[in-house]
Amino acid sequence: MIQVRFFAALRERSGKECLEMALPDGVATVAELIGWLEQSDQTLAAAFAATPCRMVAVNEMLASEEASLEDGDVVALFPPVTGG
């Protein structure tokens, strides 16, 4: 199982805070996971399309969309940060 978390505008647009799911077959990177989610869920696809500039964290560390994934990972997807 992996966990996929959404924050800020991406959370609101997708209507989802967190997905728990098995790592799908053929998905080995964050980019592939995003592609798979776009295929499987229209609302998510629309939310990604509305948030083209995204940041990624894997296991609470910033990562690129090329980062590889394995079972047990926590993936977070969010818009560019605006703290401070």
Residue 21, token pair as written in the block = 């799911």
Nearer to another protein, 24 or 31 (CB): 31
Stretch that binds another protein, among 22-30, 32-40, 41-49, 75-83 (CB under 8 A): 75-83
Q: Look at the alpha carbons of 14, 73, 54, 26 in this order and tell me if their dihedral is positive or negative.
A: negative
Q: C-beta of 49: minimal distance to another protein in Å?
A: 16
Is the distance from CB of 34 to CB of 65 less than 8 angstroms? yes
Q: Is residue 78 at the binding interface for another protein, with CB under 8 A as the rule?
A: yes
Q: Is residue 76 at the binding interface for another protein, with CB under 8 A as the rule?
A: yes
Identity of residue 60? E
